[in-house]
Chain A
Amino acid sequence: MIYKNLILCALICFVTSCKQEVYLNRIEGERLEINDSISSNEVIDNFIKPYRENVNKNLDSVLAYSVETYSKTDGTLNTALGNFMADVVLEQSNPVFKSETGKDIDMVLLNHGGMRSIISKGNITSRTGYQLMPFENSVVVVELKGAIIMEIVAYLQKSKRAHPISNLSIILDADYKLIEAKINNEPIVQDKTYYVATNDYLYGGGDNMTFFKKGDNLHFLNYKIRNALIDYFKKVDTISPAIDNRFIKLN
């Protein structure tokens, strides 16, 4: 009799989708490091190979020539490398911005820390673009009143660093006091709207550049800084940027 009941129970259990109670007794967690003690899967490696070779071939094809080696540490308030980056962002982004808005970009501000490598004397390849700018940041144009531009000037004055700028010029006296600040070679007008190009990281307040959030309008160009650099390298034969008078301190 008991045996029959058991069969019945089992049958009911079987018919009702076989749902058997299970109990979670134990959980174990660990982190496994992927390093060179683990051999590579040959099938996977062979699959990647043609992609890798094509990428490397493209990255290493020569786009331009650099006359010297340029580093962000050569220079005090402006550097050849920083001037190059800011000028390229202006030159490459302006046509994109103008086609969308009919306006011109008035100035560019990037950050000194955003230059991630040197440009070495000799051949320039796409890889140079990836090394200089490994991040995926894109160009944004912010509409800022002259009064906010003066906050940018004050930021640069205080930081005493060669943050890359273009089309903005600043002269400080021996005590780092402001003598003159100009955009397009003209004095900055307090209530005039200026179109300032930067990247989305700095717009978001990176490097304490809090002034960008005070802007009136924001334009995303969907144009990566790295792509601007690579497009520029493709366009020119040679680069020879220089330290100039865009941001200087008088002795």
Chain B
Amino acid sequence: MKRRDFLQQTAATTALVTLGGVGLQSFSTSKTKQITILHTNDVHSHIDPFGPDDGRNANKGGVARRANLVEAIRNENPNTLLLDAGDIFQGTPYFNFYGGELEFKLMSMLKYDAATIGNHDFDNGIDGLYKQLPHADFEFVTANYDFSNTIMDTHVKPYKIFVKDGIKIGIFGLGIALDGLVLKSLFKETVYLNPIEIAQDMSRILKEDEQCDLVICLSHLGYNYKNNPNIASDLNLARATKDIDLIIGGHTHTFLRKPTIEKNIIDKNVLVNQVGCYGLYLGRIDFYFDGDKNKSANGTSIIV
């Protein structure tokens, strides 16, 4: 560091401390800030681990184990967000017996920050989903479902902004087309809006209007449809938008060994990740921010 820069920093910091004792950390330009994003998708009511005799997933998964893993990471970095990309419901008798109550209560105990709504979350009808909302201490974000003529009106936000260590993180959600996937009698008057267009609006709002440092999309569109490449998917979404840093996906139960790096519409990198299903894995993405522009002059380095 140049001596002059050092002096400037010191002076500015001192001034602020005397002004009110705030901002020492947020104004320090040399400190690296770390934001950790943890994510699950398509857990499908898999609360207990798979048993030792399971043909495919023996001894894997389990909410109680996930709780300890998340806790350990939070202890290491308190600036952590825990997210879910939908299809929380349906898949074990826990859902059939309790309608999703236990799933939401446990996610609240694990301190999930936000989730998007998957098609199976309508399996007990939109009323069945609404009924379980009191058990969820986290926010639901879905920008492309218009719930205004349903019981869910005002209970789902298009996006939510979190501030961690002075870093502003905007998270918006996207849901899949319900027609043909969910019975109309279950989703009722929920209106599905074009997710790509909505994502373009959302990323503009979060990046330009809200000035977020990080924009994350929680998507239940599905990773990619090889036989139907025109169907809205996470890869299409990444290519057709800008200012999204990370797309966390679900629906297609895609087990990615590592996040996919895709180019967006202005040729910048977007990360797309999905961790299969049933709580077998936890996805982890760490973002490191710096006050020093020179460090990022050659672009953001991605290590996956």
Mark A residues whose CB is within 8 Å of B. Answer: 3, 6-7, 9-11, 13-14, 18-36, 38-45, 47-48, 51-52, 54-55, 58-59, 126, 130, 136, 138, 204, 220, 222
CB distance from B208 to the nearest CB of A (A): 13
Q: Which of B22, B68, B284 contacts A31 (CB 8 A)?
A: B284
User: Contact: B63 with A9, CB < 8 Å?
Assistant: no
Select from chain A the residue with minimum beta-carbon distance to B294: A23
**Are the CB atoms of B47 and A48 closer together than 8 Å?**
yes
Is B162 engaged at the interface, CB distance under 8 Å to the other chain? no
Between A and B, how many residue pairs show CB distances below 8 Å? Answer: 195
Return B223 CB to nearest CB of chain A, in Å. 14
Question: What CA separation (Å) do A32 and B27 show in the bound complex?
Answer: 34
Smallest Cβ distance from A244 to chain B, in angstroms? 32
Q: Which of B11, B98, B279, B291 contacts A20 (CB 8 A)?
A: B291
Of all chain A residues, which has the CB nearest B60? A35
- Given A26-B303, A30-B304, A47-B106, verify A21-B62 contact (CB < 8 Å): no
- Which listed segment binds A: B170-178, B188-196, B229-237, B256-264? B256-264
Q: Pick the contact of B105: A21, A36, A47 (CB < 8 A).
A: A47
Within 8 Å CB of B300, what residues of A?
A: 24-27
Check A55 against B19 for contact (C-beta < 8 Å): no
Which of A20, A31, A138 contacts B275 (CB under 8 A)?
A31
Are A34 and B281 closer than 8 Å at their CB atoms? yes
Q: Which residues of A contact B49 (CB under 8 A)?
A: 34, 36
Residues of B within 8 A of A55 (CB): 93-94, 97
List 30 A–B pairs whose Cβ atoms lie within 8 Å, in order of A's numbering.
A3-B11, A7-B11, A10-B16, A11-B19, A14-B16, A22-B166, A22-B167, A22-B213, A24-B213, A24-B214, A25-B288, A27-B271, A30-B284, A31-B282, A31-B283, A33-B60, A34-B62, A34-B282, A35-B60, A36-B65, A41-B64, A43-B67, A43-B109, A44-B106, A48-B106, A51-B94, A55-B97, A130-B93, A204-B180, A222-B186
Interface residue count for B (Cβ, 8 Å)?
A: 81
Whether, in the assembled complex, B290 has its beta carbon less than 8 Å from a beta carbon of chain A, the answer is yes
Contact partner of A41 (CB less than 8 A), chosen from B29, B67, B94, is B67
The residues of B with any CB-CB pair to A shorter than 8 Å are 8, 11-12, 15-16, 19-20, 22-23, 26-27, 29, 32-33, 47-49, 59-69, 71, 90-91, 93-94, 97-98, 102, 105-106, 109-110, 120, 123, 166-167, 180, 183, 185-186, 211, 213-214, 245, 256-259, 271, 273, 275, 279-293, 295-296, 300-304
User: Taking each of A11, A33, A59, which has the highest tally of chain B beta carbons within 10 Å of its own beta carbon?
Assistant: A33
Q: Are A34 and B280 in contact (CB under 8 A)?
A: yes
Q: Which 9 A/B pairs are nearest by Cβ-Cβ distance?
A: A40-B64, A41-B67, A23-B296, A29-B259, A26-B288, A44-B64, A29-B304, A38-B65, A22-B289
Minimum CB–CB distance for A71 against chain B, Å: 17
A-chain residues with CB within 8 Å of residue B280 when the two chains form the complex: 33-34
- List residues of chain B with CB within 8 A of the CB of A11: 15, 19
For B278, the closest partner residue in chain A by CB is A34
Contact, CB under 8 Å: B273 / A29: yes
Once bound together, how far apart are the Cα atoms of A19 and B296, in whole Å? 19
Query: Is the beta-carbon distance between B12 and A9 smaller than 8 angstroms?
Result: yes
Which B residues are in CB contact (< 8 Å) with A33? 60, 280-281
**If the complex has contacts A38-B65, A39-B65, are A24 and B16 also in contact, measured as CB distance less than 8 A?**
no
Residues from chain A with a CB closer than 8 A to the CB of B281 are: 31-34
Q: Which residue of A lies closest to B301 (CB)?
A: A26
Chain B residues whose C-beta falls within 8 Å of the C-beta of A6 in the assembled complex = 8, 11-12, 15
How distant is B11 from chain A, measured CB to nearest CB, in Å? 5
Bound together, the chains give a CA A10 to CA B291 distance in angstroms of: 16
Cβ contact within 8 Å between B213 and A51: no
A contacts with B: majority SS: mixed
CB neighbours (8 Å) of B60 from chain A are 33-35
User: Which B residues are CB-close (under 8 A) to A136?
Assistant: 90-91, 120, 123
Alpha-carbon distance between A31 and B49 when the two chains are bound, in angstroms: 18
Q: A20-B26, A25-B295, A25-B301 are in contact. Are A40 and B282 (CB under 8 A)?
A: no
CB distance from A31 to the nearest CB of B (A): 5
User: Once the chains bind, are A23 and B275 in contact (CB under 8 Å)?
Assistant: no
Contacts of A59 in B (CB 8 A): 93
What is the bound-complex CA distance between A21 and B26, given in angstroms?
10
Among candidates A13, A44, A51, A222, residue contacting B109 with C-beta atoms closer than 8 Å? A44
Tell me how far the C-beta of B67 lies from the nearest C-beta in chain A, rounded to whole angstroms. 4
The answer to whether residues A23 and B284 also contact, given A47-B106, A51-B94 and a CB cut-off of 8 A, is no
Q: Which residues of B contact A18 (CB under 8 A)?
A: 22-23, 26-27, 166
Determine the residue in chain B with the shortest Cβ distance to A19: B211
Return chain A residues, CB-CB under 8 Å to B91.
136
- Assembled-state Cα–Cα distance A89/B296 (Å): 63
Give the residues in chain B near A29, CB-CB below 8 Å. 258-259, 271, 273, 283-286, 302-304
Contact A31 B256 (CB under 8 A): yes
Give the distance in Å from the alpha carbon of A30 to the alpha carbon of B180 in the complex: 34
